[in-house]
Chains A and B, each alone.
Chain A
Amino acid sequence: MADRVGNRGYVTYALRRAAQAVVVILLAYVLTFVVISVLPGDPVTTTLRNPQSGFTEEQIARIVSYYGLDQPVLVQLWHSLSRFLTGDLGVSLRTNLPVSHLVAEVVPSTLVLAASALAIAVVLAFTIAFGVQYLPRPFGPALRAFPSLFLSVPTFLIGLLLIQLFSFQLGLFRVIDSDSGLATFFAALTLGIFVSAQIAEVLIANLDQEARQEYAGVARSRGLGQVQLLLRHLLKPSALPVVTVLALMVGEVLGGSVITEAIFGRAGVGSLVQRSVSTQDLPVLQAVVTLAAVVFVVVNLVADLVYPLLDPRVRLLAGQRRSTARPEPGVPEPGVAAR
């Protein structure tokens, strides 16, 4: 009986979150349109007004009219939304290519980069957190400075240093083969170092806290070794908040990919966004923002749905996620920030 109630609550919760997700995605689409539309200029006139081009105002007006950029903003929004709801993402104003083609061309590269960066970040974060706990002085305490250091060193500097050392000096990979395995690894490392900092901070704080708990003291008094204590007792409760942090990090990874892709010469979502923003390529921006909203919503939804399964202290009550446990140190209450 309790299971049936629990399952029904779980399904209701999932459906409600899915409906919210659709609203969020549509709002993201419309908001992107509004924000870009209120800015002065458009990609067509910006190109044509380049003094080098030598176009007359009459010629510019005719081309702007062809793209429908002389129509009222609401009319443009209606056309755009109608197309979107039928699955047509339109044509890029900058490249004249179908937006779906442009996005499809760069998504795989960014997914590989983002997934690799997250994997590297997790490994780095766990390594640092374990090192802080168990390495002898001065190494263990010194590792505590690494997350702050990773956050304070600009990503582009890390990228340039890695390229300089491993590509130009040691010749491990070629910058021009930007999609090769090693080039992807170092690009992911650049991004992963930044992302790892925030995961490591959470993990270090949680391990500190768990290590001070009574049960940990009891375990130690029974002669359990440090490594066994960590693996058997401390790791799981300390690592759970990392799920929430990872979900939040998806946005950071997408944002950080702009710089990383530029430095490593990768054609990805980040570089597509950067070019589309600088040229006000509205159809592409709408598609990418919508895609990012979808990814963000889905990832957070998955994190929220997985959390109760992993942590028995978190229960779904009346279709809402509630933590019956004390808030984790170092992270917001689960489920709040994730939404």
Chain B
Amino acid sequence: MNTYRTARRVPGARRALQAAIGILATVLVASACTGGGAQSAGSGAPRDGGNLTFLIDSLGDTWIPNNSAISSFQGNIWGEVTDKLVYVDDKGAASPWVAQSWDQNAAATEFTLHLRQGVTFSDGTPLDAAAVVANLDMWSKGDPQRGITPIGLFPKTYQGAEAVDTTTVKVRFTAPTLGFIPTLGYHGSILISPKSLALPADQQADLSKDIGSGPYVVESWKQDDSVVLRKRPDYNWAPAALDHQGPARIDSITYKLVAEQQVRSSSVQSGQADVAFNPSPKELATFKAQGFGVAAPRYLGFVNGFAINTKVAPFDDAGVREALQHGINRDEILSTVYTPDWLAATSFIQSNVPGASDHSTSFAFDPTKADLLLDQAGWARSADGIRTKNGVKLVLTLYPNPYLATSKAVDELVAQQLGKIGFQVNIQAFDVVTYGQRVKIGSPVVPAYEITRSFIDAGTVGGVLTDQNKGENWFNLGSSDTKLAQLATGIAGASDPKARNTQLDELQGYVLDQGYFVPLTQIVQRLYLLSPKVHGVTYNGVAYANFYTAWIDG
């Protein structure tokens, strides 16, 4: 074409222009990184008023309360417009909220909730026992006839609930369910007005019709764009554990979807916004140095790691699993992929979970020991460094978890580390859709399933490891490992917290010593970049920021 011919006449000019653009880009990015440090903070004294702008990378999909992504982006909004029966802090301690107190029978199969009086939804409906029963039923069963899902991790042992009087609810379970009370503080256990729950699915998908009792109400919203919340002036039933009561201090919160990570962070740096969700972990140190607030609250749940499929050779051999356990250098993962905000794993559950104990020696990095274990298991090194046995190579295929942004980078590092002790590690990365179809726990082609999952009570641990009570059978052992089955059943059905913790400690040691679960690191799921003008933000047990307690300098 003519254009290309004419453009070739002045290659110098084109190169010069391209160079100029390159230099301009570098200068701008550099100036954004180094210049304009945070404005000095105000007095820091709590004050009422102000509007907070929160930039978020997604606003999820549907707003039907049960179906929404309560465990990820939308949980930020739900946390401000709804209340829960119980408040769970970042140490996993449950304390009163809408439920002022509770009792349970000795078998932990029957619970009585005593509700706070005078709580109302923002549509004026009282948040009484009948409303709580309607919510419990909806969390447990959903309504498939209307396309409404149950809350995934709500106890499957739920039998039913009844309103004894306006402030008393009796809840029954088919088996001991110690985790019930903490579960009331979980992501999904948000209290919604019964009038909203009765709406058809397409109307529940309209966020403005999902009425909660929280400190903020929905003023306006636009799908995939923004949500504007306005303070509820008559709110007066905050969790006692928080150091603030009465209405929220900040007048309004605007959640604005900005998909580009760099734009979110730069908006806070330039003073255009107050909070950015999920900034780049690699930039956290820079933000801190500039005086911005950075929060990496820890959640309660499993650490990031691999559930090993014991039916897939060679991981049916305990020696190979143990070698795998000691062949991974977790400190190198932390220093290479993450920042100091990420912690080393000490078990296969996060260390802030009540009942978590330190079993880090069971999976300490020890390549010499790993080499010896593989030698003893009959895997000999061949010329290319890969071990073989009876002509079969020592192969491990990893499938990075598409829900965790750093997963592939971690797996690549693990592949290098295991390569040094003679593994051939293949990495097969899939998008979310394909991953859901092809990578399943227990699949014969998935020797190691990558876990990242939050929970609010350690009772969950007992329910997923084996196939008992429709468990998820993480290690593909069914109930064949009697010790594991015994411990898991004991934990899932425990009625005494102390006895459960003893069993939980034993279970953690056993699972790690057997190489059933290979931990990588403790996980941070949510990151917040905060303007220095924002103070008093609290974080709950599932790592969500709570702006009810916060204030903004004038």
Contacts and interface: CB of A to CB of B under 8 A. Distances in A.
Answer whether A and B are interacting partners.
Answer: yes
B61 A279 contact: yes
B470 A56 contact: yes
Interface string B7-32: 10110011011100100110011011
A165 interface: yes
A207 B3 CA distance: 11
Contacts of A204: 2-3, 6
Given A51-B452, A265-B259, A275 B272 contact: no
Contacts of B263: 160, 163, 175, 263, 265
Contacts of A54: 152-153, 453
Interface stretch (A17-25, A92-100, A303-311): A92-100
B262 interface: yes
A11 interface: no
Given A176-B258, A265-B258, A98 B453 contact: no
Contact of A263 (B31, B67, B260, B272): B260
A40 B437 contact: yes
A193 to B, nearest CB: 11
A267 interface: yes
A325 interface: no
B202 A168 contact: no
B62 interface: yes
Interface residues of B, number: 75
By secondary structure, the B interface counts as: mixed
A65 B267 CA distance: 44
Nearest to B302: A51
B144 A164 contact: no
Contacts, number: 202
Contact of A95 (B9, B223, B454): B223
Interface stretch (B104-112, B278-286, B428-436): B428-436
Contact of B53 (A149, A176, A208): A176
A272 B224 contact: yes
B7 A144 contact: yes
A64 to B, nearest CB: 10
Contacts of A160: 260, 262-263
A221 interface: no
A103 B454 CA distance: 35
Contacts of A59: 142, 149-150
A153 interface: yes
Contacts of A164: 28-29, 32, 266
Contact of A97 (B206, B432, B434): B206
Contacts of A41: 433-434, 436-437
A97 to B, nearest CB: 5
A127 to B, nearest CB: 16
A102 B147 contact: no
Interface of B: 1-4, 6-7, 9-10, 13-14, 16-18, 21, 24-25, 28-29, 31-32, 53, 55, 61-64, 67, 69, 71-72, 142, 144-147, 149-150, 152-153, 201-202, 204-206, 222-226, 254, 256-260, 262-263, 266-267, 269-270, 272-273, 401, 403, 432-434, 436-437, 451-454, 470
Given A145-B14, A175-B258, 6 more contacts: A95-B205, A169-B270, A171-B270, A262-B260, A265-B256, A330-B2
7 contacts: A47-B61, A56-B470, A145-B17, A148-B7, A149-B17, A152-B18, A267-B222
